[in-house]
Structure 1
Amino acid sequence: MFVVWIGVPTAIACVAVALVLQWWWLVALLAAAGLAGIVWGWFWAARSQAAWGFAENAEDLWIRRGVAWKRLVAVPYGRVQYVDVTAGPLQRAYGIATVSLHTASSSTSAVIPGVPADDAVRLRDRLTELGKTRGSGI
Structure 2
Amino acid sequence: MAATQGDVFDVDGVTWTPISPGLARVRRSLLLLSTAAEAAVSAALAFWLSGWFWLGVLGAVIATVWNWWLIGRQIRAWGYAERADDLLIRHGVMFRELVVVPYGRMQFVDVQAGPLDRMFGVAHVQLHTASAGTDARIPGLNAPEAGRLRDRLASRGEARLAGL
Give the TM-score, by structure 2 length.
0.76
CA RMSD of superposed structures (Å): 1.4
Match of 1:11 in 2: 40
CA contact (8 A) 2:38 2:57 kept: no
Question: What secondary structure does 2:144 align onto?
Answer: helix
The answer for the alignment partner of 1:72 in structure 2 is 98
Q: 1:53 — aligned with what? A: 79
CA contact (8 A) 1:96 1:114 kept: yes
Instruction: Select the residue among 114, 117, 120 that pairs with 2:140.
Output: 114
Q: Which residue of 1 aligns with 2:49?
A: 20
**Higher RCO (C-alpha under 8 Å, 6+ residues apart):** 2
**Letter of the aligned partner of 2:114 in structure 1?**
G
Alignment length, in residue pairs? 134
Shift, 1:108, TM fit: 1.6
Larger radius of gyration: 1
Which blocks of at least 5 consecutive residues in structure 2 are unaligned? Answer: 1-29
* 1:44-81 deviation per Cα after TM superposition (whole angstroms, max 9, x unaligned): 11111111110001110000111210000000000011
Q: Does 1:125 align with 2:154?
A: no
Provide the C-alpha distance between the structure 1 equivalents of 2:40 and 2:151, rounded to a whole number of angstroms.
47
Contact 2:46 2:54 in 1 (8 A): no
Which segments of 5 or more consecutive residues in structure 1 lack a partner in the other structure? none
* Partner secondary structure for residue 107 of structure 1: helix
Q: Does 1:101 align with 2:127?
A: yes
* Distance in 1, Cα, partners of 2:88 & 2:157: 15
Q: Percent identity?
A: 43
TM-score (norm 1): 0.89
CA contact (8 A) 1:7 1:38 kept: no
